[in-house]
Amino acid sequence: MDTKALRQKILDLAIHGKLVPQDPNDEPASVLLERIRAEKERLIKEGKIKKGKKSAKTSDKPHYPFELPKGWVWTTIEDVCSKIGSGSTPKGSNYSKEGIPFFRSQNVYNSGIVMSDIKYISDEIHQMMIGTEVVANDLLLNITGGSLGRCAVIPSNFEKGNVSQHVCILRPIVIKPEFLHCFILSSFFAKSMKITGSGREGLPKYNLEKMLLPLPPEQEQERIVAETKRLQSFVDELETSCENMTKLVAQVKSKVLDLAIHGKLVPQDPNDEPASELLKRINPKAEIITDNGHYQKLPVGWTICRLKDISKIVTGSTPSKSNRGYYGGIFPFFKPADLDAGRHVYKATECLSEDGKKVSRVVPKGATAICCIGTIGKVGYLMYEGATNQQINCAIPSKVVDSVFLFYLCASPLFNDKLNSESSAVTISIVNKSKIEAISVPLPPLAEQKRIVSKIEEIFAQLEAIETAL
């Protein structure tokens, strides 16, 4: 389930007047707007806020993006705020261990203010920056960089703070700050943002001030905020349920693989050629292990051997980056990040030229890629011939093992545990080729391998259908 899209739909319905019914007894928003203007004039007369600059007159008839419900009016963000302005950073980043909270863009999230990485300034510095003071019920909006558009409402019990130049303060008059928050998080606001800057993008103050705002009656704002909170809470529960189900699916998959490599997923067939006989016939040099504590009570017909007895292990390498002629072609060059797709690895983030292919270590389609540096144990089944970097060892199956079974074997929790137990690390975990080759693995008869693969994929398809339905 796309809960992100669901959240967005709730907000969009809210600012279009379609989330809650209108009440003809509500005071019209036009009257509310007059009260806001009167309050703003009072604040100007008392010297608490400055009078805004008059906009240039135009004869053009205003174009409104969509039709509003009865009782609503179009206005601008500037018209409903007594303050719109960004902060500044203390000279020399003069922070304190305690004092007045100083909010930066990394503290501002749609769900609220995050205090885990908060900075503080002294009261003396705060007094010098009083023009950028944050108070209760303000909205903080990130106006630059990658977090542009993130917005949080300051809690009603907040005392005082300041913001950096990357954060804008919006101080609504009379209207509900939570409703303005809904508006800012809507897709309409995102589409209306006129962003400038070729390097670090930003939202200019003027563009923010003149942005059109659909304003409902005050009573309807309250109903919208209440219903939005109720529905968003419901989405929170859905997300938790989905996360729990996703974790459960992953646990079930892991259990299925564990049962599979211990011979407990499908029944054995006495007519199958024993794995030991097949192994001796095809690879006479194979070392058949008769005593292994990890694989006790294996079914009849199964055997224990080393990974190198059933596959060829190839360690990847990276063609020289200084020779750009090695890159930019169409030959897949797989890296650990490419294994995140799950079993089937179709795409490589980078490709080699024909010259690059010649100096790389080519592995065939159907090889199992095993990450052996960094994220130890991450695996993928290569759907195309390609090459890998040095962080990946590839297991190329021999005639004694089904290629997909080999993948599931290497993806099993027991193999992963054995792989990690062999890792050595100073700053980063590493498992070298010889240690991977020496890992002992269970080998069922070839016919049973195919039955195991079929059963695994049947179960996994059912589990993935459940995930898709979430």
State the Cα angle at 191 between 34 and 224, rounded to 5°: 50
Are residues 199 and 95 located together in one domain of the fold?
yes
pLDDT digits (tens, 9 = 90+) for 284-342: 888 776 544 555 678 889 999 999 999 999 999 999 999 999 999 999 999 999 998 77
In a domain, 461, yes or no: no
Is 468 within the bounds of a domain? Answer: no
Percent of the chain with pLDDT over 70: 94
| Claim to verify: residue 389 and residue 299 sit in the same structural domain | yes
For range 47-67, the mean pLDDT: 73
Distances (CA, A) of 34 to 48, 175, 208, 322, 444: 19, 12, 21, 68, 81
Question: Averaged over 242-262, what is the pLDDT?
Answer: 93
Residue type, 377: G
CA distance 313 to 434: 9
Query: What integer pLDDT is reported at residue 200 of this predicted model?
Result: 62
pLDDT band at 429 (very low <50, low <70, confident <90, very high): confident
Count CB atoms within 10 A of the CB of residue 157: 6
Mean pLDDT of 416-439: 86
**Band of the pLDDT at 198, cuts 50, 70, 90?**
low
- Whether 460 is in a domain gets the answer no
Instruction: Judge contact between 192 and 211, C-beta under 8 A.
Output: yes
Nearest Cα neighbor of 439 from 313, 274, 300 is 313
Q: Is the pLDDT of residue 199 over 60?
A: no
Tens digits of residue pLDDT in 234-244: 999 988 988 89
Do 273 and 199 belong together in one domain?
no
228, 252, 285 — which closes off a domain? 228
Question: Do 214 and 352 fall within a single domain?
Answer: no
pLDDT in tens, 161-182: 999 999 999 999 999 999 999 9
H runs (alpha helix) in 123-217:
123-128, 177-185, 187-192, 205-209
Beta-ladder partners of 393: 315, 370
52 and 131 within one domain: yes
- pLDDT at position 55 is 58
Domain shared by 220 and 287, yes or no: no
For residues 67 and 122, membership in a common domain is answered with yes
Final residue belonging to a domain, choices 228, 252, 287: 228
Find the domain containing 36 and state its range.
3-228
DSSP 438-470: H-EEEE--HHHHHHHHHHHHHHHHHHHHHHHH-
Instruction: Specify burial of residue 264 (Cβ count, 10 A radius: 0-12, 13-18, 19+).
Output: exposed
Q: Report whether 37 contacts 182 (CB < 8 A).
A: no
Is 398:279 a contact under the CB 8 Å cutoff? no
Whether the per-residue pLDDT at 468 is higher than 60: the answer is yes
Contacting residues for 54 by C-beta, under 8 A, at least 6 apart: none
- The mean pLDDT of 53-78, rounded to a whole number, is 81
How many CB atoms neighbour CB 108 within 10 A?
23
**CA nearest neighbour of 258 among 288, 303, 295, 293:** 295
Residue 1 has a pLDDT of: 66
pLDDT band at residue 256 using 50, 70 and 90 as cut-offs: very high
Count structural domains, the chain.
2
Q: Output the pLDDT for position 96.
A: 83
Residue 423 maps to a domain: yes
Average pLDDT along the chain: 90
Residues near 423 by Cβ (< 8 Å), separated by ≥ 6? 376, 429, 430, 431
Q: Report the CATH number that the domain containing residue 425 is assigned in CATH.
A: 3.90.220.20
pLDDT at residue 92 in the model: 66
Binned at pLDDT 50, 70 and 90, residue 54 comes out as low
Of the candidates 49, 58, 103, 57, which has an alpha carbon nearest to the alpha carbon of residue 78?
49
429 - beta bridge partners? Answer: 425
109-132 average pLDDT score: 90
Indicate left, alpha or beta for 54 from its phi (over 0: left) and psi (-120 to 50: alpha): beta
pLDDT the model gives residue 288: 76
The answer to whether residues 281 and 192 belong to one domain is: no
The verdict on residue 453 lying in a domain is: no
Q: Lowest mean pLDDT of 11-25, 48-62, 407-421, name the range.
A: 48-62
Q: Is residue 348 part of a domain?
A: yes
Question: Is the pTM higher than 0.75?
Answer: no
Tell me whether residue 240 is in a domain: no
204 shares its domain with 301: no
Neighbours of 29 (CB within 10 A): 25
| Domain termination site, one of 228, 251, 279 | 228
- The segment with the largest mean pLDDT, out of 53-62, 415-424, 452-461, is 452-461
Higher pLDDT, 31 or 131: 31
Pair (74, 221) in one structural domain: yes
CA distances for 391 relative to 169, 306, 318, angstroms: 47, 21, 9
> Same domain for 332 and 422?
yes
In a domain, 241, yes or no: no
* CA angle in degrees (0–180, nearest 5) for 155-159-160: 105
216 shares a domain with 335: no
What percent of the chain has pLDDT above 90? 71
Q: Which two tokens stand for residue 26?
A: 């509500």
